[in-house]
Amino acid sequence: MKVALYVRVSTYEQSPDMQLKELRDYCQRMKYDIYREYTDIGESGAKTSRPQFNLFMEDMRKRLFDAVLVWKLDRMGRSLLHLLQIMEELKTKNIDFISYSQNLNTMDSTGKLLFNIIGSFAEFERDIIRERVLAGKRKSVIKQGRKPLQINRHEVHRLREEGKTLEQIGDEVGCSYGTVYNLLRMK
């Protein structure tokens, strides 16, 4: 059986080496042929578009391998909807999914059920992390005594149309040029 390995780490400080070693060892024990290794570094699982993931999906659609092997389900994605979409595409191409560390595969009905349950928990975990980050930001603003900026976006756009620089606009409305830049991007 030809197997594609998909590995992802969220930051550039992390290394995919441990995941790759365990997946390669597993393939050797199972006598699977590794078709290709797809490795995304510094990519969030919440993103549906990642360079190596996109390449993996293209090759999957061409049915260049028989199964995909990941170290853990959340390496493939963090959104249940996205995971289910991936699974549906794999199913239409008759390609199996194997999660090594969770001892999960879609070759049987139990594996399919467990996939849906674990996918729900991966999405839940991502939501909890997001809530904690937002709570931390709010706490930081309160602790530092800063008040949230109240900036008139229309004024920022008007000043930009007058030809003022980001720094000039920031000085005039009372914020940094980075904030001005972000406000101008949000039409």
Give the active site residues.
Answer: 10
Query: Could you tell me which of 52, 3, 73 has the C-alpha nearest to residue 31?
Result: 3
Please state, in angstroms and as integers, the Cα–Cα distance from residue 127 to each residue in 25, 44, 71, 143, following that order. Answer: 33, 13, 21, 24
Encoding tokens for residue 181?
A: 């830049």
Sign of CA dihedral 157, 161, 166, 172: negative
Return the CA Rg of the chain: 22
Q: What is the C-alpha to C-alpha distance for residues 140 and 170, in angstroms, rounded to an integer?
A: 22
Burial readout 22-55 (b: 16 or more C-beta within 10 A, e: otherwise): ebeebbeeeebeebebbbbbebebbeeebebbee
Q: What is the C-alpha to C-alpha distance for residues 42 and 112, in angstroms, rounded to an integer?
A: 29
| Contact (CB, 8 A) for 41 and 69 | no
